[in-house]
Amino acid sequence: MFRLPRWYEFRLRVFETNYGRHMGWYVMRECKRLAELTDCRWEEMFWDSYLVTPLTDDPRLNQSLLTDYWNSPEAEGTYFLCREFPEYGISFYLPAADPTREPGRVILRGLYAMPFFAMPWDYLILWWRRFRRRRKNSASR
C-alpha cells in the first residue's frame, strides 16, 4: 500500500484544519496559557471570531480576557500557539476595532498556521481522503 511522506501528511493536515483555525489556539504570554480560542467562525473578509475560554486562576484577568484585554497595553507580548501544531506560534495578531462584539467571543485577524498555498493535486488528494473516510464510516454502521 502506498503511503505519503510524513511532510506531505503534515501539509494535508494543515489544509484539513483550515490552517489550524478549526483546531483552535492557545493565548500565551510569558510561556503561560491564558486562554483557549475555539469554535472558529468566519466574520468578515480576513476576520475570524473565536470562543474565548480563560484558563488562568486570576479572576480579574479572566474577566479582562472576555472584555477589554485585546486592545489594552496588557496584551503586549501575547502570542498564540496552534493546538494542532504547537510548534507554530504566531506573535503578531490584529484585533478588530471592537474585538468583543459578542459576549465570550473575540474577533481577530491573522491566526493561521503555515500560510502556504495548496497545489491543484492537493485538492484531489484531500477529496480522496474525505471520500475514503466517508465510505469507511458508512460501511461500519
- How many CB atoms neighbour CB 65 within 10 A? 24
Q: How far apart are CA 40 and CA 31, in angstroms?
A: 23
Strand, helix or coil for residue 45 = coil
Going by pLDDT thresholds of 50, 70 and 90, the confidence category of residue 1 is low
Q: How far is CA 27 from CA 5, 21, 55, 87, 118, in A?
A: 31, 13, 9, 14, 27
Over residues 107-130, the mean pLDDT reads: 82
Q: What tens digit of pLDDT does each residue of 40-51 get?
A: 999 888 888 999
Per-residue model confidence as pLDDT tens digits over 69-114: 888 888 888 899 988 887 777 776 777 778 888 888 998 887 877 6
Tell me the C-alpha distance between 95 and 90, whole Å: 13
Residue 32 confidence class, pLDDT cut points 50, 70, 90? very high
Which residues touch 107 (CB under 8 Å, ≥6 apart)? 43, 47, 48, 49, 50, 95, 96, 98, 99, 100, 101
pTM above 0.85, yes or no: no
Please state, in angstroms and rounded to a whole number, the distance separating the CA atoms of residues 81 and 50.
14
